[in-house]
Amino acid sequence: MEKLFRPNKWFVGFCGLLIVVFLSLQYVSRMRLQGLAQAWGAEIFTWDWPGQNLHSIGKMTKADVVKKTESDAVVKVTGTQTLDWSGAQPQHSETECGALLTFYKTNNDWVLGKVELQ
């Protein structure tokens, strides 16, 4: 029995190029999602309470994609939250903070759907 199909170097090179392009797109998509999660995490932990002169600033230092499918993704963000109270005796404290963010994909954009504080 003779071989009907035998790949040559161009076919193997083309398949290798397709794999590299696919992996690159997955990496870029993951990095984009991590950046979006860090921005949302900072937004969640940054707030003002003017009546009590209490201010919070969140800085997210790390974002890890826990699960990602075509329609949703779960990202864990961690960082620091700085609380400033400018009352009669000003106080300043810094603590670690984190959240589990669930994103849903609509019209090729990731939309924040659920936040679980940790």
Q: How far apart are CA 43 and CA 28, in angstroms?
A: 23
Strands 47-49 vs 72-85: parallel, antiparallel or unpaired: unpaired
Please state the domain count of the chain.
1
pLDDT of residue 95: 92
Q: How far apart are CA 68 and CA 64, in angstroms?
A: 11
DSSP codes joined into one string, 29-91: HHHHHHHHHHHHHHHHT-EEEGGGTEEEEEEEEEEEEEEE-SSEEEEEEEEEEEEEE-SSS-E
- The reply to whether 15 falls in a domain is yes
- The reply to whether 3 falls in a domain is no
* CATH number, domain with residue 15: 3.10.450.540
**pTM given for the model:** 0.81
- The reply to whether 95 falls in a domain is yes
- The reply to whether 14 falls in a domain is yes
pLDDT of residue 43: 94
Residue 76 domain boundaries: 9-117
- The reply to whether 1 falls in a domain is no
* Range name among 4-13, 19-28, 78-87 with the lowest pLDDT average: 4-13
- The reply to whether 2 falls in a domain is no
- The reply to whether 27 falls in a domain is yes
